[in-house]
Amino acid sequence: MREAPKSPCVVAQPSAPPLDEMQPLVVDSSADVQSPVDEDQSQDTLSPVPKAYVEAAKGDMAVASARWKATLAWRKKERVDSILDEPMPHFGLIKANFPHYFHKCGRKHEPVFYEKYGHIEWKRLRAHGVPQHRLLRHSTLCIEFLWRVLMVDDDQPFLHVVDLEGMRWKELRHQDRWFRTFYEQLADCLRKHYYDRSAHVYLLNPPNWVMWLWNIAKLGINKSTLERITIVRGDKKIYDALAARISHENIPEEYGGGSVGRAPEEDVLFQLQDFNNKVAGVDYPLVGAFAKRPFLGTGLQS
């Protein structure tokens, strides 16, 4: 039987995580999910409104409470609390054509998530019959895996690395409605149901047209947010920027680091899908340091 990999970044999680200072996340989905869920789980028996919701509403408890209830209702409707136990038939295909991965941790034990927007094979995904709601469901799975498995508590941030190399304005401009609708739905869901927990965001290798758009967009971004964003080009500068927050042995080889191959976090995610898809000889990997936690103190696990 294959055992869950060990990660150098994940520490043992507390048996009863604190309920204060919690924040939400996830992606919209109209998927016809078949995973079981306890129908008795109700927003009427929830923990108090998380502090993050109150802060986002500038102290307006009515607004914060309404947002929290909307998120909980959405999670129940979309069965998000059981998503980590759900088979994903398109998981491997999406991972192969939509490059994104978790890879070890930062110097302060923050999980690190990498995305390579310039290498997404949208046409291939469509040709293989991957519907929008499955892409959104997959994105939700990744966020829940980050928040409920890799993050040791509800206050831990993460590092987000977005590689823009290969993005072409002409290709984006000519993408059809299928492509745009996916991102519109994803952005809307994140805005409604998740709050930013990134300690720092790296934008790597942006083409000139992205920089032109960025120079306009940043005029409307507050100073504290701008301080958490690093834009950098060139192999040496990229490595130096990442190394400021991630040790050499945890930086992927493709960015000049000493970490070769797939990280333990990805091994666990792939093993989880093998288990959910009933692959013979695969053990359940969400145990020990990788045991899943409830969502923001709701007590709802699956």
What's 70's domain CATH number? 3.40.525.10
Q: What are the tens digits of pLDDT across the range 262-287? A: 999 999 999 999 999 999 999 999 99
Query: For residue 256, what is the DSSP state?
Result: T
**Considering the domain boundaries, does residue 1 fall inside one?**
no
**Which residue, among 81, 33, 4, has the nearest Cα to 296 in the 3D structure?**
81
pLDDT at 158 over 80: yes
**Considering the domain boundaries, does residue 37 fall inside one?**
no
Three-class SS state of 280: coil
Phi first, then psi, for residue 30 (nearest 5°) are -110, 25
pLDDT at 8 over 60: no
Tell me how many domains the chain contains.
1
Q: Are 15 and 43 in contact (CB under 8 A)?
A: no
Residue 287: CB atoms within 10 A of its CB come to: 12
Instruction: Please give the residue range of the domain that contains residue 48.
Output: 43-290
Q: What is the pLDDT, as a whole number, of residue 226?
A: 92
For residue 215, count CB atoms less than 10 angstroms from its CB and return exposed for 0-12, middle for 13-18, buried for 19 or more. Answer: exposed
pLDDT tier, 22 (very low <50, low <70, confident <90, very high otherwise): very low
Q: What is the pLDDT, as a whole number, of residue 238?
A: 98
What single-letter amino acid sits at 112? V
**Considering the domain boundaries, does residue 34 fall inside one?**
no
Helices (H), 115-263: 122-127, 132-145, 169-173, 177-193, 208-217, 223-226, 235-243
**Considering the domain boundaries, does residue 20 fall inside one?**
no
- Which CA distances in Å does 266 have to 8, 44, 218, 261? 13, 36, 33, 10
Reported as half-sphere exposure (CB side, CA atoms, 13 A), residue 206 has a value of: 15
Q: Are 165 and 118 in contact (CB under 8 A)?
A: yes
Please compute the mean of the pLDDT values over residues 61-77 and round it to a whole number: 92
Please compute the mean of the pLDDT values over residues 3-32 and round it to a whole number: 42
Residue predicted with more confidence, 78 or 7: 78
**Considering the domain boundaries, does residue 13 fall inside one?**
no
**Considering the domain boundaries, does residue 296 fall inside one?**
no
**Considering the domain boundaries, does residue 237 fall inside one?**
yes
Q: What is the pLDDT, as a whole number, of residue 21?
A: 33
Query: For residue 246, what is the DSSP state?
Result: S
Q: What is the pLDDT, as a whole number, of residue 39?
A: 37
**Considering the domain boundaries, does residue 298 fall inside one?**
no
pLDDT tier, 99 (very low <50, low <70, confident <90, very high otherwise): very high
Q: What is the pLDDT, as a whole number, of residue 195?
A: 78
Q: What is the value of pTM for the model shown?
A: 0.82
